[in-house]
């Protein structure tokens, strides 16, 4: 456990060792959530790139989805122009 001090404008510096252990680096985004009186949870939000890597190969390829979307849009446009 590490101690931190809340600044005048509400800023809080997370001690370096705790940031390292949590994998939080400069520029990372974190979620701050009130849990109960006196308890706030800070959680690292994964980057878009990390989410994309994690989902790679698990979802249909965009080119296949895009082709289907193009066909549906074209059908809608043709159907409404009649």
pLDDT tens digits for range 34-52: 999 999 999 998 887 877 7
The average pLDDT across 23-32 equals 91
Residue pair 43/33 in contact (Cβ under 8 Å)? The answer is yes
Residue 44's nearest CA partner among 62, 64, 15, 22 is 22
Gap between the terminal Cα atoms of the chain: 70
* pTM for the structure as a whole: 0.54
- 3-class secondary structure, 82: coil
**Mean pLDDT computed over 5-15:** 92
Percent of the chain with pLDDT over 70: 88
Please provide residue 18's backbone torsions phi and psi, each rounded to the nearest 5 degrees.
Answer: -70, -40
């Amino acid at each position: 456990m590490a101690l931190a001090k809340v600044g005048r404008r509400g800023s809080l510096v997370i001690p370096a060792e705790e940031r390292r252990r949590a994998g939080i680096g400069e520029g990372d985004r974190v979620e701050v959530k009130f849990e109960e009186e006196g308890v706030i949870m800070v959680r690292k939000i994964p980057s878009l790139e990390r989410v994309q890597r994690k989902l790679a190969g698990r979802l249909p390829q965009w080119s296949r989805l895009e082709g289907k979307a193009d066909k549906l849009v074209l059908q809608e446009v043709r159907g409404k122009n009649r």
